[in-house]
Amino acid sequence: RKEVEQDPGPFNVPEGATVAFNCTYSNSASQSFFWYRQDCRKEPKLLMSVYSSGNEDGRFTAQLNRASQYISLLIRDSKLSDSATYLCVVNIGSTASKLTFGTGTRLQVTL
Amino acid sequence: DADVTQTPRNRITKTGKRIMLECSQTKGHDRMYWYRQDPGLGLRLIYYSFDVKDINKGEISDGYSVSRQAQAKFSLSLESAIPNQTALYFCATSDLGSGRETQYFGPGTRLLVL
């Protein structure tokens, strides 16, 4: 079983749609969680951290379920510019040297 | 100007050649990392450095070496390149702002080993 698993997609959605991605992780000792965004042929960039109580940043909402060991990302009112690959990232330690990256879920937002 | 830069951006080399990928940062971060990304796999950590005198192996260090020449510079070397080292390589820096370590990636180096 992979340490961090994501549905690779692609998710093809029309502009304005709401889309949700899930990610599961295997290590129950995982301490912190993140969503990164990676555009085609570009570097990953931090989208948002994921906190235990859930958190929201504009159109983006992240949730964490420690009991079931999954993380979710909800994007509301999708924009064309949201088209990218979304990486689920889990840290089993206290430094970035312990980060485990998922393979990513590709989102394509269409007109 | 970008905060984390990598050179070269693209490189084609032959099996057995020695090559060096360079990373520079202007963010003033102590921590620097080298990753590789392959299709269908997540980013995997090759080496990391918490300061100039601290070098550590990551998940997949075999076949690679690094040098931390200064706080701002972290180089990755392939002593004798082989085709399965063909990948996209990212350098990253990080800080501990807001109590969580946040990483900042360079633009990547595409390496093809023939």
pLDDT band at B65; cut points 50, 70, 90: very high
Q: Beta A11-14 vs A105-110: how paired, if at all?
A: parallel
Inter-chain touch B101–A46, beta carbons under 8 Å:
no
Residue B1: the pLDDT is 57
pLDDT at A85 > cutoff 90: yes
Residue in chain B closest to A39 (alpha carbons) equals: B107
Inter-chain touch A43–B106, beta carbons under 8 Å:
yes
Mean pLDDT, chain A, whole residue set: 93
End-to-end C-alpha distance for chain A, whole angstroms: 37
Give the 3-state secondary structure of residue A82: helix
Q: Six-digit token pair at A29? A: 């000792």
- Which residues have CB under 8 Å from B5's CB, separation 6+? B23, B24, B25, B106, B107
Which of B17, B14, B54, B12 shows the shortest CA–CA distance to B33? B54
Cis link prior to A10 (omega < 30° from 0)?
Answer: yes
pLDDT in tens, A86-107: 999 998 877 777 889 999 999 9
Region A53-80 average pLDDT: 96
Inter-chain touch B92–A103, beta carbons under 8 Å:
no
With contact defined as beta carbons under 8 Å apart, do B57 and B45 qualify? no
Mean pLDDT, chain B, whole residue set: 93
String of DSSP letters for B81-97: --GGG-EEEEEEEEE-G
The identity of residue A62, as a single letter, is: A
Q: Minimal Cα–Cα distance from A104 to chain B, Å?
A: 7
Q: Minimal Cα–Cα distance from B5 to chain A, Å?
A: 11
The Cα A51–Cα A74 span in angstroms is 14
Report the number of secondary-structure helices (H) and strands (E) in chain B. Answer: 0, 11
pLDDT band at B86; cut points 50, 70, 90: very high
pLDDT band at B43; cut points 50, 70, 90: very high
Tell me, yes or no, if A55 comes closer than 8 A to chain B by beta carbon. Answer: no
Residue B99: the pLDDT is 62
